[in-house]
A = this chain, B = another copy of it.
Amino acid sequence: MTNQAQALNVNITSRFWTRYLNMTVENALPYQWRALNDEVPVDVPEGAAWGENGSQFSHSLRNLRIAAGREEGVFSGQPFQDTDVSKWLEAASYALRRKNAGLNVDELEAHVNEAIELFEGAQDEDGYLDTKFELDLPAEKRFKGLRWSHELYTMGHFIEAAVAHYEVTGSKRALDIAERVANCIGHNFGDGEGQVHGPDGHPEIELALARLYEATGERRWLDLAAWFIRVRGTDPEFFDEQDAAGGPQFYTDLHMPLKYFVQDEPILDKQHAEGHAVRLLYLAAAVSKVGRLLNDQKMLDTAERLWTNIVKHRMYITGAVGSCQVGESFSFDDDLPNDLVYGETCASVAMLFYGKSLMETKPRGSVADVMEKELFNGVLSGVQLDGTRYFYVNPLEADPAASKGNPTKAHILTRRAGWFDCACCPANLGRLITSLDQYLYTVSNDGKTVYAHQFVANKTEFEDGFTIEQTQAGDEYPWSGDITFHVSNPNGLDKKVAVRIPQWSKDYTLEVNGEAVELPVVDGFVTVDASAADTEIHLVLDMSVRRVRASLRVRADIGKLAVARGPIVFCMEQVDNEGPLWLDGMSADANVSESYEPDLLDGVEVLKVKGSRLESPTDDQYRAVDAPLTEREETLTMIPYYAWCNRAEGQMQVWVRETK
């Protein structure tokens, strides 16, 4: 599989996603630009990490202006502060496409150009581009403290932004800077004498170089990406040696094991998803992508193995990954505590990068199912409905009293924050949402089969004149499961359209050109011949409410039920339910009524569950069992998980106590 035959022009028309796209283009990205440019006071709830140096400002555009000689001043922020601008630039570049949908992107475009100009001005003669090092450290320190320096991470994000800008606009201005960056890296890293023979502590350059290869066709970038993958974890002494040689050190308070950096063993030997979740996932996504581009079986196997481990044992029902706040990391199989979870927004975003690449290797419904789960739950939970406040951590159980009163849970914010000291998540949300069009289709190697694997209404033209229009009836997806693919094949090419049957849809009906058909589900897809001039595929998915149990391996979920409907996981919030929520319960066959409420939370399905509330006749802290506990009938209100924390602050839970 390749993405060479990728769709030329995907126009998202989905009501649900158009709202998110337009909100991002019109509200979130302008807000983020102002934050990066120190133009807005940002509101950060107690507990949110902010202001490494006490600053209330991002300083990231200022760093670039200083490095570009446009302003006097000193560097401020994280070593990787530049990436906040790079990721914004990537997101905003994608966003320029929304001009096609009638949005005014003039101001955004001006800021895009301003950012590129600043990177251009900040770039050193040899291509080096990292304002932390340029402003704060002598040149001989470069690439000498890679445990925490984030130099390649920083440059990788610029490369990704440049590729995006080039792909959207056709302009080579940013791409030229990126190629100079890549040249600098290629010059400094490798097996040759005098070259640095080890990786950056934070993977990212691997994915970036692979994308640069795709954009430019320059094979050496692909080889360099593969080199960074192959060198990773082969020399566990590498960072220590750099320290010992007097390399610059950062975050000396943090004592993270090599596993955190995915540097404890060769990545291609790794059996489990371990360490810092975003580091592991960026790397695994690159392993998958480079493996496919090089047809390297060891890489392909590694990508499959780690994905399987995550999906089967290390992912929450919302798609959240990373069970542990310490090191923002994976922990161990089936350790999925709902109230301690990290579930970084960036990690859910990275799962989409990873899933997309696996689909390109071999399209499978199971992978697309996970991508959908992440999209509608783990990712969207990270952003307030208006796009201007963010979660870094996405819990499945939250209690403001616990977050304030028990430092072990202080990372679980119960209000989204206006910005972060380490502001990786806001722009990652931005670049995912504005590039959603790239996640809807996978085309087979021979170009004949188009896998239409996401139920996001759109109209898409492929380069061979083939078009697919996906429309949705009723309240539209994800609220209704009535989906039609109008396929047009004016040139009568030998074409097939493969439509995903989600694992969650117990039943479905499929009609082709108005006739009911029964087709085998292969790897999660039904494949419909589309060689006629027009083909209409009508799929109706089973959107009935599901009560879900976790495996008995998952200690945290024993005796609990979750509720889902279509791709959406539901939760209870205290604003709708009296609380404490842990007293509320429901049985596996509880009656549930559902209704779409267009005015609530920008339009959501709301569930009313006939449940109960636990009551006790006594109030002692501990007492010998005497009078039994009782269950009082109560109606539980549930809303989509992604929409939580958009009203009053309070308790939230996904998993609900199961009653008989």
Q: Is A327 an interface residue, CB under 8 A from the partner?
A: yes
Q: Which of B324, B555, B588 contacts A625 (CB 8 A)?
A: B588
**In the complex, which residues of chain B have a beta carbon less than 8 angstroms from the beta carbon of A625?**
546-549, 561, 588
* Total number of A residues with any Cβ neighbor in B under 8 Å: 61
The residues in A between 317 and 353 inclusive whose CB is less than 8 angstroms from any CB of B are 317, 323-327, 329, 331-332, 334-335, 337, 340
Partner of A616 from B323, B506, B552, B614 at Cβ < 8 Å: B552
Contact A406 B622 (CB under 8 A): no
The residue from B552, B562, B619 contacting A551, defined by CB atoms under 8 A apart:
B619
Say yes or no: is A258 at the interface (Cβ < 8 Å to chain B). Answer: no
- Chain B's nearest CB lies how many Å from the CB of A319? 11
A582 and B561 contact, Cβ closer than 8 Å, known pairs A331-B406, A628-B588: no
User: Is A614 a contact of B558 with CB atoms below 8 Å?
Assistant: yes
Residues of B contacting A327 in the complex (Cβ-Cβ under 8 angstroms): 407
Cβ distance A655 to chain B, nearest Cβ, rounded Å:
11
Task: Verify if A139 is at the interface (C-beta below 8 Å from B).
Answer: no
A516 within 8 A of B: no
Query: Does A580 lie at the interface of the complex (its beta carbon under 8 Å from any beta carbon of B)?
Result: yes
Q: Which residues of B contact A615 (CB under 8 A)?
A: 552
B551 touches A312 (CB 8 A): no
Q: Are B624 and A657 in contact (CB under 8 A)?
A: no
Contact A402 B335 (CB under 8 A): yes
Taking CB atoms, residues of chain B closer than 8 Å to A558 are 582-583, 614, 657
Q: Which of A329, A401, A405, A616 has the most CB of B within 10 A?
A: A405
- Pairwise interchain contact A623-B548, C-beta atoms closer than 8 A: yes
A620 within 8 A of B: yes
Q: Which of B408, B549, B562 contacts A340 (CB 8 A)?
A: B408
A580 — which chain B residues lie within 8 A by C-beta? 552-553, 555
Given contacts A562-B622, A621-B313, A624-B547, contact A323 B657 (CB under 8 A): no
- How far, in angstroms, from A615 to B552 measured CA to CA in the complex? 8
Flag whether A446 is at the interface (Cβ < 8 A): no
Interface residues of A (CB under 8 A from B): 253, 311-313, 315, 317, 323-327, 329, 331-332, 334-335, 337, 340, 399, 401-402, 404-408, 410, 504, 506, 546-555, 558-559, 561-562, 580, 582-583, 588, 614-616, 619-625, 628-629, 657, 660
18 A-B pairs besides A329-B407, A331-B402 with CB distance below 8 A are A313-B621, A325-B408, A327-B407, A331-B406, A408-B408, A546-B625, A547-B625, A549-B616, A549-B629, A551-B621, A552-B583, A552-B616, A553-B621, A554-B621, A555-B580, A558-B657, A561-B625, A562-B622
